[in-house]
Amino acid sequence: MSNTDTPDDDPYDGLPPQSPEEEATMQEEIDLLMAQYAPFTPASMRPILRERLEHGLRTHPYPRQLIKTFAERKPVDVSGEGAVDGSKDTGEKAGGKEGA
């Protein structure tokens, strides 16, 4: 058995996990696709097909980007006194001295 024959330890190629919204969208898309194949796909083959679809949607860049685009996003509060990037403002300058 060569190195290429061993199972991969990281099935998702080190990619970051999807957000809960992206995960839900991906599962909905898989369910829609599986419903189309159900009438003529043997029951024993459906789990394999689902697994392959899920792997493809998680690992390939183009479907991953589509899932990210179609996923509903939770609204982010943008008003208020917080910093734009969400960091905490301490009122100090970079050198540790206080402002003006």
Q: What is the rounded CA–CA span in Å between residue 38 and residue 18? A: 27
Query: In this structure, is residue 41 part of a structural domain?
Result: yes
Query: In this structure, is residue 3 part of a structural domain?
Result: no
C-beta neighbour count of 91 within 10 angstroms? 7
Please write the tens of the pLDDT for every residue from 27-67. 999 999 999 999 999 999 999 999 999 999 988 989 899 99
The reported pLDDT for the residue numbered 74 is 74
Q: What is the rounded CA–CA span in Å between residue 40 and residue 43? A: 9
User: What is the reported pTM?
Assistant: 0.59
Number of domains the chain is built from: 1
> Mean pLDDT over all residues of the chain?
78
Domain that holds residue 21: 16-70
